[in-house]
Structure 1
Amino acid sequence: MPEKYDAIIIGSGSNGISAAIRLQQKGLKTAIYEQASTPGGATRTQELTLPGYKHDVGSAILPMGVASPFLGKLPLHEHGLEWIYPEIAYAHPFSDGTAYACYQNLYETASQFGEDEKAYLNIFEPLVKNWDKIGGDLLGPLGIPDYPLDFMKFGLKAIPSSKMLVNHYFKNEKTKTFFYGSAAHSTLPLTNIASASFGLVLTTTAHKYGWPFPKGGAGKFTEALLGYYKSIGGELHLNTFVEDVRDIPNAYAYLFDLTPKQLLNIKGLNFSSLYRKRMDAYNYGAGVFKLDWALSEPIPFTSEKCRKAGTVHIGFSTDEIEISEKGIHEKNMTSKPYVLVAQHTPFDDSRAPEGKHTAWAYCHVPNGSTEDFTEAIEKQIEKAAPGFKDTILAKSFMNTHQLQEFDPNLVGGDINGGKQDITQLFTRPIAKINPYSTPNPRVYICSSSTPPGGGVHGMCGYHAAGAALKDHFKELMKK
């Protein structure tokens, strides 16, 4: 049959949409097929608790949406996207009621750390200065970097474990704990090699760009992406579950915004048994247990810095965070988990009725866990914000099974599309020169199960689209 489209993208997460946009920008005829009734993958907003209270079901703070070399250059403001920048990107409270803040201003941040001020600047000053040189290579497949020396300097800091890095650079326990707060986004034990890389990248982007979120909900980001995509001729088809690739129109290329588990279930792809075996061995990472609250007032954090931050990391010592992040991989959860909190309504009153508020939080849990961690999470927040429980009007929780039901790519509650340890950081989903290609020359993977991994940055889709362009549309690749 003749090809109806040049390329079809299966899945409308940020990576799928990014792949579609890049191909459509080149003049190709593309379409996105999405199994759900609402596009966006994990980047969606719904009323989960009470009418009028808008909650981000998955992603809530989107710094990489601005820092992304691809998404950051799209005219999304023309399609209704408005970024909200809290005064403080993230804060970390301590048991004595104080807190450290990550301001966008690097020097204001470092000035809090006393004897560790110089060490903090030694780490982050060159990273912030050279981000434009190394950021593109960090957010892509393994290859020869454009600026090898600057990239190598980053690597020397990123390869150690978080524990090794903080013990080498910092003297103060609070400074070490503050870094752990960003590094623990990795969902890896903080004694693991390369776990420091997550803290380095996230904190660098906080100083370079801030940690913004979309006004009105993360779903507004998806709406803007799709608005732009449609404005350049793209098509979106919802409520279309692709069980067999032969059920959708012919195309020169198919790009799947799916993890290996979902991809292997698609019929008609003609994958070799060896490829299937290697993909079947792909490792998924820790899951999350997520809570959303409708509140009568903002979270009453003791520290003013926390009240001014869009994101708050809660873990009251390095030992506490280490135990928490190690335990999730040993299925031995602590009663004092590391907790990530996002609070939008102090800065965006469009998300709740007048005078009311919302909050969002999760802790890391063993993949596939169905245990309820509501009490443990609320106790941790209550310790940093006495009276928090009294502000709760309603709540909603999602365990790992419910998260996967919401978005099938969240396998076992894994929000990163697969474990992001040293064995799968760049060689995901399997080790090969072109990680986006498959044995079927028309089929590509563009999900977060490819480099650079999890996060709302669209770069997995961008690079997968580049691979398809190179293989099937070489002349267009030159434009």
Structure 2
Amino acid sequence: MTGARPRAGGRGAVDAVVVGSGPNGLAAALLLARAGLEVQVHEAATTVGGGSRTAETLPGFRFDVCSAVHPMALASPFFRAFDLAAHGVGMLQPEVAYAHPLDGGRAGIAWRDLDRTADGLGPDGPAWRALVGPLARRWRGTVAAALSDFRTVPGDLLTAGRLGLRAMEQGSALWGARFAGEVAPAMFSGVAAHALVPPRAPAPAGVALVLASLAHAVGWPLPRGGSQAIADALAAAIRHGGGVILTGQPVEHLDQLPRARAVLLDLGPHGLLRLAAGRLPARYARQLRGFRYGSAACKVDYALSGPVPWAAPGCELAGTLHLVGSRGEAVAAERAVASGRHAERPYVLAVQPGVVDPGRAPAGRHTLSTYAHVPRGSRQDVGDAVTAQIERFAPGFRDLVLARHVTTAAEAERYNPNNVGGDIAAGALTLRQSVLRPVARRDPYRTPLPGVYLCSASTPPGPGVHGMCGLHAARRALRDVFGITADPLELLRGPAAG
């Protein structure tokens, strides 16, 4: 403890304050608490979780408001040390990690078994196995490279090098010669489009390689009851360690916070500029204002009277589906959105929790949670376009819809201010901005303000429910401010305080 005197106005001093309770903010707060520090978390919303919240969007039907499927919650170093199962979170595994339907009743099916997946791709099976197999076999090295702070030498140089080289092949003649058919390239592009940028570039290719390899290594699980379960488990562990979480507590300026030796902000550049108004050096503030945001998502949730009638066998077993058609269609749709236009046939990511978690809906009913990529800041309801895209691959779908709820990109920012313009990736995933986010600095987590750190997905390694942005920032705060040099992961694995 600091031993500092309480400040005037009744706000006592604490060791550390975390602003924002997304997965990264909660990860940082837990690590600080495990180090024996007095920690407060301030969250503007009435519930913790940020991008991992679950809500009854339609009466009786529970939907994940943003993130829904969580390979990183099993694979990331933070969550492997935390051990979700030990904290009561059931991670449910669909038989098929993801599917990519095409016209004519065909689909690429990503089974947990790599060989079964490759066998279903026919002549392109060996190429898929060669592309994804080495990264899946050494998945810990793959994840460590992808989720590093990009400032340290990877422990598994061979795997990190393979991941980097494969990502850089995108758009080259080598890539074009890899596959002969239509299904495998479409499958890869569907995963790459998770990055919300046109898929034929190194950064989204890196995303696809990591996620596709994890489908065969740890799966793409769904938390029982929804993504809120992950946030609630982290929050419970923080409280058990003596931490305090204050919800419904919007913070407009750093001066509102209790006096603390360290402040960690689970906020993007816009949030830092707002809270530190007038305090930041002009050059740094200018760099923050130049941070680029990417395309956005329009969320469309469906309450259904029955399961989706997919035309292609295997799709009914998938937790996640990518609905866009061929690789060419995926590239065209993402390029349209990146240029500020709504695609006539948008990229749609769909999640059907009922394949493993029927409790999300009343008995005999089903949920389908989707989002479509749209231009940043879009106020357009694209529910009809999403419905048409689903109907394209599941004839008769419209007849099952009991109700539909749409959250536009503009509304998504009001729900979570880190999603500027509805950008759920917290910043464009270009090659440069994947490494140099939010600004080009040797250390992206430290701000010019003493003791103030960024720990959001706008820092490396970027978006996803993995907790690693919080871990990287907490490691620096522990060392810089408190002189604690222990490995944060060892603190996490050790006995909890309380």
**TM-score band, normalised by the shorter chain?**
over 0.9
| Pairwise CA distance, 1:430 | 0.6
CA distance 1:168–1:387, shift in 2 (3 Å)? same
CA distance 1:164–1:46, shift in 2 (3 Å)? farther
Equivalent residues of 1:285, 1:367 under 8 A apart: yes
**Aligned equivalent of 2:79, options 48, 71, 78:** 71
Match of 2:378 in 1: 369
| Pairwise CA distance, 1:80 | 2.9
Match of 1:24 in 2: 33
Match of 2:101 in 1: 93
Which stretch of the first structure deviates more once superposed, 148-157 or 438-447?
Answer: 148-157
| Pairwise CA distance, 1:160 | 3.1
**Aligned equivalent of 2:118, options 98, 105, 110:** 110
Aligned mates of 1:269, 1:474 — CA distance in 2: 29
Deviations 1:97-125 (A, max 9, x none): 02121111111111111111111111112
Residue aligned with 2:177, SS: helix
Match of 2:431 in 1: 422
Deviations 1:107-158 (A, max 9, x none): 1111111111111111112111222224213202213222323311221101
Match of 2:146 in 1: 138
Equivalent residues of 1:77, 1:224 under 8 A apart: no
Residue aligned with 1:169, SS: coil
Kindly indicate whether residue 135 of structure 2 is the aligned counterpart of residue 123 of structure 1.
no
Equivalent residues of 1:94, 1:384 under 8 A apart: yes
Aligned mates of 2:256, 2:444 — CA distance in 1: 26
CA distance 1:10–1:152, shift in 2 (3 Å)? same
| Pairwise CA distance, 1:332 | 2.4
Match of 1:464 in 2: 473
Match of 1:11 in 2: 20
Deviations 1:348-400 (A, max 9, x none): 12111111111111111110011221111111100111110100001100111
Match of 2:483 in 1: 474
Aligned mates of 2:414, 2:382 — CA distance in 1: 19
**Aligned equivalent of 2:353, options 341, 344, 349:** 344
The code of the aligned residue for 2:192 comes to A
| Pairwise CA distance, 1:301 | 0.8
TM-score for both structures, normalised by structure 2: 0.93
Aligned mates of 1:146, 1:319 — CA distance in 2: 37
Match of 1:295 in 2: 304
Equivalent residues of 2:262, 2:451 under 8 A apart: yes
Equivalent residues of 1:46, 1:54 under 8 A apart: yes
| Pairwise CA distance, 1:39 | 1.0
Aligned mates of 1:240, 1:24 — CA distance in 2: 20
TM-score for both structures, normalised by structure 1: 0.97
CA distance 1:119–1:283, shift in 2 (3 Å)? same
Match of 2:274 in 1: 265
**Aligned equivalent of 1:234, options 232, 237, 243:** 243
Aligned residues: 478
**Aligned equivalent of 2:205, options 196, 199, 202:** 196
Once superposed, what is the RMSD of the aligned Cα atoms? 1.6
Aligned mates of 2:462, 2:61 — CA distance in 1: 31
| Pairwise CA distance, 1:210 | 0.3
Equivalent residues of 1:410, 1:417 under 8 A apart: yes
Q: How does 1:325-404 map to 2 (within 5 A)?
A: 325-404=334-413
Aligned mates of 1:191, 1:105 — CA distance in 2: 26
Match of 1:283 in 2: 292
Aligned mates of 1:271, 1:110 — CA distance in 2: 53
Equivalent residues of 2:75, 2:140 under 8 A apart: no
Aligned mates of 2:85, 2:419 — CA distance in 1: 29
The code of the aligned residue for 1:160 comes to E
Aligned mates of 1:197, 1:77 — CA distance in 2: 28
Match of 1:306 in 2: 315
Match of 2:223 in 1: 214
| Pairwise CA distance, 1:195 | 2.5
**Aligned equivalent of 1:175, options 184, 203, 226:** 184
Aligned mates of 1:102, 1:429 — CA distance in 2: 34
| Pairwise CA distance, 1:60 | 1.1
| Pairwise CA distance, 1:229 | 1.7
Aligned mates of 2:430, 2:277 — CA distance in 1: 32
Aligned mates of 2:172, 2:338 — CA distance in 1: 17
**Aligned equivalent of 1:187, options 176, 183, 196:** 196
Deviations 1:79-107 (A, max 9, x none): 43111111000011110102121111111
Deviations 1:144-183 (A, max 9, x none): 2223233112211012336766413211111111111101
The code of the aligned residue for 1:465 comes to A
Equivalent residues of 1:63, 1:205 under 8 A apart: yes
Segments of 5+ residues of structure 2 without an aligned counterpart are: 6-11, 492-498
Kindly indicate whether residue 47 of structure 2 is the aligned counterpart of residue 60 of structure 1.
no
| Pairwise CA distance, 1:268 | 6.1
The code of the aligned residue for 2:105 comes to G
